Amino acid sequence: MPRTRPKPITIDNPQLEAFLEMMAAERGASAHTLAAYTQDLLALDVFLQSKRRTYLNAGVKDLQQYIASLHKAGLGARTSARRISSTRQLFGFLYQENLRSDDPSHGLDRPRLPKKLPKYLTEEEVDVLLEAARDNGA
């Protein structure tokens, strides 16, 4: 199935807009990556607004509460990990651009991702490999 271009989202936050522009210009992020970051960081923005905080004055405790809210909402480990990664990159950017004097995301724990099970061969694939080995004199 062909991938479609994500619909543009209106952003009314200068820090988020600057971060996304940097991601596109300096890191060459794709439209899909930018859309994912936008959704992740707008969700963070909504959470922070509910605490009367912003990207510029949020602290470690605010971000820890945000992560706890992700777990409470039942988000999967991969989704939580992506949101935490988005958060860390945004706050790292704000710190590097001197928009913040600190990076409250620096010590955030990442959720442990489940290990993928190894792929296995079917019985027919094993037979083909064994036959090929016999044919090659192994």
Asked if 56 and 99 count as a contact pair (C-beta separation under 8 A), the reply is yes
Asked if 61 and 81 count as a contact pair (C-beta separation under 8 A), the reply is no
Q: What is the mean pLDDT of residues 78-96?
A: 93
Residue 63 is which amino acid?
L
Q: Minimum mean pLDDT among 1-15, 18-32, 49-63: which range?
A: 1-15
User: Mean of the per-residue pLDDT values for the chain?
Assistant: 87
Asked if 91 and 102 count as a contact pair (C-beta separation under 8 A), the reply is no
Q: What is the mean pLDDT of residues 84-90?
A: 94
DSSP class per residue in the chain: -PPPPPPP-----HHHHHHHHHHHHTT---HHHHHHHHHHHHHHHHHHHHTT--TTT--HHHHHHHHHHHHHTT--HHHHHHHHHHHHHHHHHHHHTTS-SS-TTTTPPPPPPPPPPPP---HHHHHHHHHHHHHTT-
104-135 per-position pLDDT tens digit: 998 887 666 667 777 888 889 888 888 888 88
| pLDDT band for position 45 (cuts 50, 70, 90) | very high
Whether 138 shows a pLDDT value over 70: the answer reads no
